[in-house]
Amino acid sequence: MSDTHFGFQTLDEAQKASRVRGVFDSVAPKYDVMNDLMSMGLHRAWKAYTVAVANLRPGQAVLDIAGGTGDLARAFARKVGPTGTVVHTDINEAMLRQGRDRLIDEGLVLPTLLCDGEKLPFATASFDLVSVAFGLRNMTRKEAALAEMMRVLKPGGRLLVLEFSKVAEPLQKVYDWYSFKVLPRIGQLVAHDGDSYRYLAESIRMHPGQAQLKAMMRDAGFGHVDVHNLSAGVVALHVGIKC
């Protein structure tokens, strides 16, 4: 068994998933309000951009991995309409429940499935589009996850990876101050859990930057990969095409 990272800590691969589960079990009830607070509402713009790039048509089949409280699944479901399918998935039951309840409250009943992005329980070539927003960073075996995403896409299908990335140099100092000093305090005050938000800041620093993730997607077999920097690289949207 090899080593991996949980934020800045190095640990055995077998331990990471349960540490990540602990984080999301803890933050699930306050996840949406914390997302708005921490990003000052920007996560809504990043997701709206992702939905625009997805450019879905009625009738298409979409898989949202690490879908959590369902922001992307809800927007995608409206685009593909009643003839399409959006499968809302996550490895964490607490997050998935929050998402499912919210979607039902909004009149959307989607297939909802507890599953690991690293081992997808779907047939090869099932989906027109696969998305993973702020989820890949938390996975232990990112190469295996990307290979699975590639496998379940139809030929010509696209993978959208929305994730924190490497911020532009002039902003680094202020971004570090905000991430390591402010974020954990907001987490402690609102969600009574500073540690989970410290993990968030650390995991962002350990995640591959724009060029490295692009190379990983090419290695997973995506014939073409575009990178869209958002908010000066705080976040990047990687779009891979299964050619």
Contact residues for ligand SAM (CB under 6 A)?
A: 20, 24, 65-69, 71, 90-92, 95, 116-118, 133-135, 138-139
User: Which residue's structure tokens are 């908010």?
Assistant: 231
**Which residue number, 127 or 134, has a Cβ lying nearer to ligand SAM?**
134
Minimum distance of ligand SAM from residue 67's CB (angstroms): 5
Minimum distance of ligand SAM from residue 232's CB (angstroms): 20
Please give the Cα distance from 70 to 198 (Å, whole number).
Answer: 24
Minimum distance of ligand SAM from residue 31's CB (angstroms): 7
**C-beta separation of 111 from 89 below 8 A:** no
**Which residue number, 60 or 131, has a Cβ lying nearer to ligand SAM?**
131
Consecutive H or E run containing 26: helix 13-27
Minimum distance of ligand SAM from residue 175's CB (angstroms): 18
**Which residue number, 64 or 128, has a Cβ lying nearer to ligand SAM?**
64
Minimum distance of ligand SAM from residue 18's CB (angstroms): 11
Apex CA 55: angle with CA 57 and CA 224, to 5°? 120
User: Which residue's structure tokens are 């101050």?
Assistant: 177
**Which residue number, 54 or 133, has a Cβ lying nearer to ligand SAM?**
133
What does 43-111 look like in DSSP terms, one character per residue?
HHHHHHHHHHHH---TT-EEEEET-TT-HHHHHHHHHH-TTSEEEEEES-HHHHHHHHHHHHHTT----
Nearest to ligand SAM by Cβ — which residue? Answer: 68
Please give the Cα distance from 91 to 117 (Å, whole number).
Answer: 7
Minimum distance of ligand SAM from residue 138's CB (angstroms): 4
**Which residue number, 60 or 138, has a Cβ lying nearer to ligand SAM?**
138
**Which residue number, 156 or 204, has a Cβ lying nearer to ligand SAM?**
204
**CA atoms in the 13 A half-sphere facing the CB of 26:** 18
The set of residues, in sequence order, having a beta carbon less than 8 Å from that of 41 and lying 6+ positions away, is none
